[in-house]
Structure 1
C-alpha cells in the first residue's frame, strides 16, 4: 500500500504546557505548521524543537 503524506496544522497561543505532548503525538506527520498568535511563553521554542514551521500572526 502506498504511504499517504500529510501535514498537520496547529493553531496556538501560550500553550507551552501542552504543546510538546501534542507534537509528540503527531510525530508521523510529514510537515508540522504551527500558527501562533503572538505567544509570550515558550510555545515557539518548543515548536522549533519539533522542527515545525512556525508562523507568528
Structure 2
C-alpha cells in the first residue's frame, strides 16, 4: 500500500482530479450565467486535465 501512495503517477492523477473538478464547476457556472468566459476556462482546464493524465500514463510506463 505504501508503494502505491509514493508512486509518481499518483500526484499527476490527483492534480488531474482537481483540474477536472474546476472544469466541471466552471462549466456549471457557464450554464447558469450564460457567459462565455467560464466556458473558455472550463475548456482550458480540460486540456490541462488531459495533459496531467498523459503525464501520469508516462510515469506508469516507467
Q: Same fold (TM over 0.5)?
A: no
TM-score of the superposed pair, with normalisation by structure 1: 0.32
More helix by share: 2
Q: Which of the pair has the greater relative contact order for Cα pairs under 8 Å at 6+ separation?
A: 2
Q: TM-score, normalised by structure 2?
A: 0.30
Greater per-residue strand proportion: 1
